[in-house]
Chain A
Amino acid sequence: MASKDQCNYKEGPLPSCAPLALGTIPMQQGAEPAYDKNEALVKGTLFPGLDLPFMDYVAAGTLENVPLYELMALDFVTQELALYLDTHADDKEAFETWKCFKELAEEGRRRYAKQYGPITRAQTAMFDSWVWPDEPWPWEYLANGGNG
């Protein structure tokens, strides 16, 4: 086994011997380094090591600081860490980070729903009437921070 120290964050260790006739992908070594949540969302990954853009199609900056994008960023980090944990179940530190983000995302979802309407059908129970059908639905321009 190659020592962890020999690999940088864009690489992962491989077994010194591996079976023939089988694909062998290096394991990601850890959940660090990681982007800040807003940068992660716009890049499409939490992990600089996996940030492999096509040509010069690189994300510029981050999205505007609005409640919807803040919530999307929290949910995105939660999702990205979950996929990482699926193949790194023993990474206790990443699990703790995931729990923190999951809490923040749930709290953010509650706050967002109160102000802008339910994100899940169950959240409609916060309201005085059946507002679940209210526009805009997520595929509309206006639902995504578009204006005009």
Chain B
Amino acid sequence: MFIYEKKLQYPVRIKNPNPRLAKFIISQYGGPDGELGASMRYLSQRYSMPYPELKTVLTDIGTEELGHLEMVAAIVHQLTRNMTVEEVKAAGMEDYFVDHTAGVYLQAAAGWPWNAATIAVKGDVIADLTEDMGAEQKARVTYDNILRLADDPDVIDVIRFLREREVVHFQRFGEALRLATDRMDQRNVYAVNPAFDR
């Protein structure tokens, strides 16, 4: 069960609408390394995770990512608020506008809709946790690239926050892998998949 909180984790308050920035920031909403994929990856990996402390890590980080999903949506929404057709044209946003107007849709910057093929649920403790570490790094790089492209301090402030969360989550997944290793046969952790072999 999830309970909604009517506030963001960190304030999104963008003074100046600017659809040009929304065009690529939307990748962290529904792109290959975005927040939806992050949340769905971790929350879905829980069911085959055999160890309680690792179910917890996946649940708590997967839930925080839902909050980040809302923050990215808030950025896109505020950057496109009250936008006119002239502004759409000036930003080169006609391709998005024709399908979604000023709605916030789950897609990558290049227009592809969100795809579960961008995430993995392997049902193996080492494979899933190693995937999660890679996922945090990919999300971190996407935020790095957004920082390279963004020129609005209000946007940069939020992106900087979200990027730092990826660094913290990477550390936690790394520690989770250590905890998993401690529970497995140190001579050959590959001898079994504790998520399947009982």
Give A residues with C-beta under 8 Å from B: 19, 21-28, 41-45, 47, 50-55, 57, 59, 63, 68-69, 71-72, 75-76, 79-80, 82-84, 86-89, 117-122, 137-141, 143-146
Contacts and interface: CB of A to CB of B under 8 A. Distances in A.
Interface stretch (B69-77, B89-97, B107-115): B69-77
A51 B167 CA distance: 8
B6 interface: yes
A21 B189 CA distance: 9
Q: Which size class do B's interface residues fall under?
A: 35 or more
B162 interface: yes
Contact of B6 (A79, A87, A118, A141): A118
A59 B74 contact: no
A19 B179 contact: no
22 contacts: A19-B181, A19-B187, A22-B177, A25-B174, A25-B177, A27-B175, A28-B171, A44-B161, A53-B160, A54-B163, A57-B163, A59-B161, A76-B9, A79-B60, A83-B60, A87-B53, A87-B178, A122-B3, A139-B73, A140-B77, A141-B13, A146-B14
Contact of B167 (A24, A26, A42, A52): A52
User: Which label, helix, strand, loop or mixed, suits the secondary structure of the A interface?
Assistant: loop
B15 A146 contact: yes
Interface of B: 3-15, 53, 56-57, 60-61, 64, 70, 73-74, 77-78, 81, 126, 130, 133, 143-144, 147, 156-157, 160-165, 167-169, 171-172, 174-179, 181, 186-190
